[in-house]
Amino acid sequence: MRDVSSRREAERLSLVRRIKDKLFLVILVVLSMAAFLPLFHIVASILYYGGWTLLRGGLSFLVDTPPSPLSSNLGGIGPALVGSAVLVFLTVILGLPLSFMAAVFTVEYPNTLVARVTKLVCRSFTEIPTVLIGVLSYTLVVIPMGRFSALAGAVALAIVMVPYSYTYMEESLASIPRTYREAAYSLGLTRPRAVFSVFTRIARRGILTGVLIGLAKAAGETAPLLFTIGGLRHAYFNGPDHPVGAIPLLIYEFALTPYRVYREVAWGAALVLIAIYLVIFVVLRRTVREVRM
Amino acid sequence: MSYAVEVENLRVRIGGFEVLRDLTFKVPENTIFTVMGPSGSGKSTLLRVINRLIDLIPEAEVSGRVVVLGRDVFKADPYRLRTRIGMVFQTPNPFPHLSIYENVALGPKLNGLVKSKKELDNLVRWALEKAMLWEEVKDKLDVPPLGLSGGQQQRLCIARALAMRPELLLLDEPTANVDPINARKIEDVLISFRREGGVTIMMVTHSPPQASRVSDYIAFIYMGQLVEVGPADQVFVNPRNKLTERFLRGEVS
């Protein structure tokens, strides 16, 4: 008798366990769907609406100037695309060497005052609202120069970007095991040689991630541009010290208008922006292999 | 007799802890000199003073006099000094981002020790042969070293050090993470390399049998202090100190 009852008890328990297990699984799936859905929604709508725009506009959408508000002609985002390319280029030139050298310095001389301050400033700058950085660049660059410019935008973008790039680069350099550092120095390598011929190459994947994050920030940030680049809709490029357009800014401005054709252009621009991200990421990730340790 | 290493009243403190206390000894040239002692007795730190890798530990305080290859190490340029001193570490640490060939070639190339690719090729082959690794890797010189076994990786690290043509070779428990067969091979590498002359080998180990197999001279360090130093036969057959005797019998660890 006892045998039977204890077996029943065990069966009952195992049933409860199985139900709990299934329930838990369902909850997990539902929650992760909930987290994933907004992202899916964003990407899907951009693909859908942006796709229609690109189909209608064709390649000339990437080249032409934007339409007038009530025109039936779609026009294009040529100036904004050129402006974004210029901004990314200038930002990378300003920001990446700075992030990289700062990362190398703080890892190699961690106990110096400069290193500690650098680390602290970079950590806190990732938290500052980027619109404030736009205002900062407005004060530092736009007002003295007397006009909006690509340069002012690049300065703002670089200030936004450096802490992110720096953090990735610093962490990947700092995580190189000490035994490799000792090995490099035991061969008589001077510090610059050890850093540039050994350490940065071991950490290349992390440094690359820093570069990618930097590029993404430079290409996608909108707020730092509000007070800095001025916008340039119908001309392409007049020089780095003149106003330029930018894709994120164009999306922001056009999406807020009531004009149908502007919204179509904004959707198309969003798709182009995402496509640019994708290309950069895929190409760089494929070309730089991770160092297994 | 001339000496490759002369240590006088060496003291090292790291973070308030006395790692080495008043060491004094000399390492005769062209010999294998083994520093023996239980784990944590300061042996590795001693090696790192000799090639100034101790500089990487900013909180280390060092005092005393250490003369290596005729130069006072604390007055010498550490980078120049290290080009004459090779080092092999406790954990095999070939550079993971380089191929087998590049691991061996890196030191000579970056220090400008070779003039041509041909010369570098020959040097790499020579070093790999000396480390008894050439036959095992000659067909895969351009693959990363992580596919090699631990023992092969360690011999690669020895080749990397030998390629610099060091006058002094430091080994920090080179067989601690290596299987017994590879450990024997590494011992053979050291003995045959010593026989050719022109190099002094200073090895750290906590294994008395290993010390007895390879050493000409032995120093026994315990808790950062030098207990005994002398020719290997004498230390093994006739230890002067009770503590040495007990360590050799495996009673101290």
Give the pLDDT confidence of A1-16 residue by residue, as tens digits.
556 777 888 888 888 8
pLDDT for position A165: 93
- Cα B99 to Cα A172, A173, A221, B94, B146: the distances in Å are 21, 21, 40, 9, 9
pLDDT digits (tens, 9 = 90+) for A112-144: 899 999 999 988 888 889 999 999 999 999 999
pLDDT for position B15: 87
pLDDT averaged over chain B?
91
| Between A57 and B47, the higher pLDDT residue | B47
**Nearest CA to B231 among B43, B30, B32, B1?**
B32
pLDDT for position B250: 80
pLDDT for position A2: 59
The Cβ of residue B183 has, within 10 Å, a number of other Cβ atoms equal to: 19
A293 pLDDT above the threshold of 80 = no
pLDDT for position A272: 94
Query: For residue A33, which phi and psi values (nearest 5 degrees)?
Result: -60, -45
Tokens of A45: 């709508």
User: To the nearest whole percent, how much of chain A has pLDDT over 90?
Assistant: 60
CA distance A206 to A192: 19
* Contact assignment for A186 to B161 by CB distance below 8 Å: yes
Per-residue pLDDT, averaged over B127-140, amounts to 93
pLDDT for position A1: 53
The topology (CATH level 3) of B1-84+167-253 is Rossmann fold (3.40.50)
Whole-model pTM?
A: 0.82
Distance between B96 CA and the closest CA of chain A, angstroms: 6
Complete domains list, chain A, with CATH: 78-287 (1.10.3720.10)
Distance between A93 CA and the closest CA of chain B, angstroms: 27
Nearest CA in chain A to B58: A111
Quickly list H helices, chain A: 2-45, 51-57, 78-108, 113-125, 130-137, 143-145, 150-174, 178-186, 191-193, 200-202, 204-220, 247-255, 260-287
Sequence spans of domains, chain B:
1-84+167-253, 94-165
Least CB–CB distance from A292: residue in B51, B146, B161: B146
Query: For residue B170, which phi and psi values (nearest 5 degrees)?
Result: -105, 135
A94 pLDDT above the threshold of 80 = yes
- Top residue of B97, B171, B177 to mutate, by most chain A CBs within 10 Å, is B97
Lowest mean pLDDT among A90-94, A163-167, A227-231, B147-151: A227-231
In the block, residue with structure tokens 């008043």: B22
Is A287 an interface residue toward B (CB < 8 Å)?
no
The answer to whether the beta carbons of residues B174 and B90 sit under 8 Å apart is: yes
| Between A8 and A192, the higher pLDDT residue | A192
| Between A292 and A152, the higher pLDDT residue | A152
CA distance B88 to B169: 8
B83 pLDDT above the threshold of 90 = yes
Measured between beta carbons, the chain B residues lying within 8 angstroms of A201 are 97
pLDDT averaged over chain A?
89
pLDDT for position A236: 80
* Contact assignment for B111 to A189 by CB distance below 8 Å: yes
Least CB–CB distance from B164: residue in A181, A188, A197: A188
Please tell me the total number of residues recorded for chain A in this structure: 293
ipTM of the complex: 0.93
Q: Which residues of B touch A (CB under 8 A)?
A: 51, 53, 56, 58, 79-87, 89, 91, 93, 95-97, 106-107, 110-111, 144, 146, 157, 160-161, 164
CA distance B14 to B21: 12
Is A183 an interface residue toward B (CB < 8 Å)?
yes
CA distance A95 to A102: 10
Least CB–CB distance from B51: residue in A186, A197, A201: A186
Measured between beta carbons, the chain A residues lying within 8 angstroms of B53 are 182, 185-186
A201 pLDDT above the threshold of 90 = yes
Least CB–CB distance from A186: residue in B82, B97, B146: B82
CA distance A219 to B29: 63
Measured between beta carbons, the chain B residues lying within 8 angstroms of A190 are 79
Measured between beta carbons, the chain A residues lying within 8 angstroms of B106 are 187, 197-198
| Between B186 and B253, the higher pLDDT residue | B186
Per-residue pLDDT, averaged over B179-188, amounts to 90
In the block, residue with structure tokens 């050439």: B134
Nearest CA in chain A to B164: A187
* Contact assignment for B106 to A188 by CB distance below 8 Å: no
Lowest mean pLDDT among A1-5, A18-22, A283-287, B76-80: A1-5
Angle of the A204-220 helix axis to the A78-108 helix axis, nearest 10: 140
Measured between beta carbons, the chain B residues lying within 8 angstroms of A291 are 96-97
